[in-house]
Amino acid sequence: MKNFMVLQFWLLLLSAHPALGGVVEVGPDGPYPTIRSAIEAAHSGDRIIVCPGIYREGQIIVDKMVSILGEGQPVLDGEGRSEILTIIADSVRVSGLVVQNVGISYMEDRAGIRVRKAKNFVIEENTLINTFFGIYLEHAGSGVIRHNKIRGEAVQENASGNAIHLWYCRNIRVDQNQVSGHRDGIYLEFVDSSVIANNLSTNNLRYGLHFMFSNGDDYFGNRFSGNGAGVAVMFSKKINMWENVFEQNWGRASYGLLLKEIYDAAIYRNTFHENTIGIHLEGCGRIKYSHNDFANNGWALKMAGGCLENTFTENNFVSNTFDLSTDSNTDDNHYDGNYWSEYAGYDLDRDEVGDVPYHPVKLFSFVVSRTPESIVLLRSVFVDLINFSEKVSPLFTPANVADHSPRMKYISWQEIQLK
């Protein structure tokens, strides 16, 4: 009897600890054929193991602190009719599931996995296929979304959702996910103090990453490739972006990175490769750009109205059709100490800094920013001639837009350790 009581005490203790709680198995042949019935039977802290099979249960509401762990890729199928997992309890863990076929809705934002007003969740190693909105977080905090693969089949912008959608969240970490074929790969609105790291966002209709009204976030190590228009960061403060790759955002209205009304940000060690526009800036101030690579873009930097006090240092501008385009005569930004592949100056004292300033705004790019139609003269002999004569003696292009200490050699920032 005494022994039994001790055992009971230990069992009680064990079950109170979430990782060591009871186990409820879901499987076609077991006592709990559906995930819903397993959640009903489970206690707080239990683990629900989902065995292989296809579960067609419509919407499943997770209202207990449980872990739902898929073994052998069980499939949760919404049959195109409803949302699938809705998490409303704290400390829920979801992993190893295949969630599919949510179906398009024009009335509600259905999601494969939704977290509503919950904290401390972990969503990892799931595969979401054709789920309208993939993972949808609203009013959530302190959670992790990692190692998920989210694939969509979006064709039209207005009939598609975002792969990872965050709305009013804090302290979220989105790490090493692969998202493709949605409207936006990752969408953040009113999300503070969060980290977006090492994700791969490809072939989304609109943006690879879309950032609105979100302050104090970091994003790094992400790769954005072949999206409608790369990354848009708007109306946000204190954002750090580093070691991201923006590539092949190539189209008439496309760009690698769009910055609109961004202040006090740091953008460093990123690669912008083969974008129509590398960075499009609009009303941005006090941003520091350093150690970025801009290669083979149409425009490396395109500035529109009201960009003040931006500093560009030690970036590489290699083989861009235009390095910089600005439409204003006065310019308050600093461009000193970059490498420009078109620089034709000399370095007599051999300190690897060019002796004559470099003017990154070509006359033609200046003309184009004022008269867009003149772009039809791109690559004509006349344009080459006027560019050349302007380079020799600048008359029209803003004289204060200049790099006074252009580097002679490519700056290999990859070898500099990140502090």
Residue pair 365/322 in contact (Cβ under 8 Å)? The answer is yes
Residue pair 163/182 in contact (Cβ under 8 Å)? The answer is yes
Among 385, 399, 416, 418, the residue binding another protein under the rule CB under 8 A is: 385
Residue 404 identity = H
Q: Tell me how far, at minimum, the Cβ of 322 lies from another protein, in Å.
A: 8
Minimum CB distance to another protein smaller for 380 or for 414: 380
In the block, tokens 């460093």 appear at 268
Q: Tell me how far, at minimum, the Cβ of 372 lies from another protein, in Å.
A: 6
- The reply on whether position 395 binds another protein by CB under 8 A is no
Minimum CB distance to another protein smaller for 262 or for 301: 301
Q: How much helix, strand and coil, in percent to the nearest 5, is found in the chain?
A: 15, 40, 50
User: Minimal CA–CA distance to 408: which of 332, 368, 351, 365?
Assistant: 351
Tokens of 355: 């002796």
Give the burial class of 249: count Cβ atoms within 10 A of its Cβ; 0-12 exposed, 13-18 middle, 19 or more buried: buried
**Which region among 33-41, 307-315, 348-356, 375-383 touches another protein (by CB under 8 A)?**
375-383
User: Minimal CA–CA distance to 161: which of 227, 110, 209?
Assistant: 110
Minimum CB distance to another protein smaller for 129 or for 363: 363
**Which region among 18-26, 46-54, 79-87, 364-372 touches another protein (by CB under 8 A)?**
364-372
**Which region among 18-26, 104-112, 167-175, 374-382 touches another protein (by CB under 8 A)?**
374-382
**Which region among 70-78, 172-180, 331-339, 371-379 touches another protein (by CB under 8 A)?**
371-379
Site for another protein in 291-320 (CB under 8 A): 298-299
Minimum CB distance to another protein smaller for 63 or for 384: 384
Q: Tell me how far, at minimum, the Cβ of 387 lies from another protein, in Å.
A: 12
- The reply on whether position 276 binds another protein by CB under 8 A is yes
Interface mask toward another protein for 223-262; x: CB under 8 A: ---------------------------xxxxx--------
Q: How far apart are CA 255 and CA 299, in angstroms?
A: 9
In the block, tokens 């207990």 appear at 64
Q: Which residues pair with 169 in a beta bridge?
A: 191
Site for another protein in 69-128 (CB under 8 A): none
By CB under 8 A, how many residues form the interface with another protein?
27
Minimum CB distance to another protein smaller for 171 or for 321: 321
Q: How far apart are CA 227 and CA 222, in angstroms?
A: 13
Minimum CB distance to another protein smaller for 72 or for 372: 372
Quote the radius of gyration of the chain (alpha carbons, Å): 26
Residue pair 360/317 in contact (Cβ under 8 Å)? The answer is yes
**Which region among 37-45, 171-179, 221-229, 383-391 touches another protein (by CB under 8 A)?**
383-391
Residue pair 180/157 in contact (Cβ under 8 Å)? The answer is no
Give the burial class of 370: count Cβ atoms within 10 A of its Cβ; 0-12 exposed, 13-18 middle, 19 or more buried: exposed
**Which residues of the chain form contacts with another protein (CB under 8 A)?**
250-254, 276, 298-299, 321, 367, 370-386
